């Protein structure tokens, strides 16, 4: 893991096309801005982990394709 010290207004560059900018520091809270190409997904870690867990649960579901087809539609 690389650990860097940055001040407000300073940034780091990752892979020539991702910029992480320190936009504000307020006590123990830091606001960052991220500039990256549109094709790069950016998530807060807790959101990413929740999506991964939901996907794993969906894959592990015991419903067959026929059972899914028989689920009544909401109207």
Q: How many CA atoms lie within 13 A of 68 on its CB side?
A: 6
In the chain, DSSP assigns E strands to 11-14, 18-26, 29-35
- The pTM for the full model equals 0.67
Query: Does the structure show a pLDDT above 90 at 18?
Result: yes
Instruction: Please give the Cα distance from 24 to 31 (Å, whole number).
Output: 5
Which residues lie across from 12 on neighbouring strands?
Answer: 20
Is residue 3 classed as helix, strand or coil in its secondary structure? coil
Percent of the chain with pLDDT over 90: 71
> What confidence tier does 75 reach under pLDDT thresholds 50, 70, 90?
low
**Average of per-residue pLDDT values in the chain:** 89
């Amino acid at each position: 893991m690389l650990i860097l010290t940055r001040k407000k207004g300073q940034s780091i560059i990752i892979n020539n096309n991702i910029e992480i900018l320190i936009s504000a520091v307020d006590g123990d809270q830091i606001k960052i801005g991220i500039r990256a190409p549109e094709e790069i997904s950016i998530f807060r870690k807790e959101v990413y982990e929740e999506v991964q867990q939901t996907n794993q649960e969906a894959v592990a579901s015991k419903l067959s394709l026929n059972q899914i087809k028989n689920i009544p539609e909401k109207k």
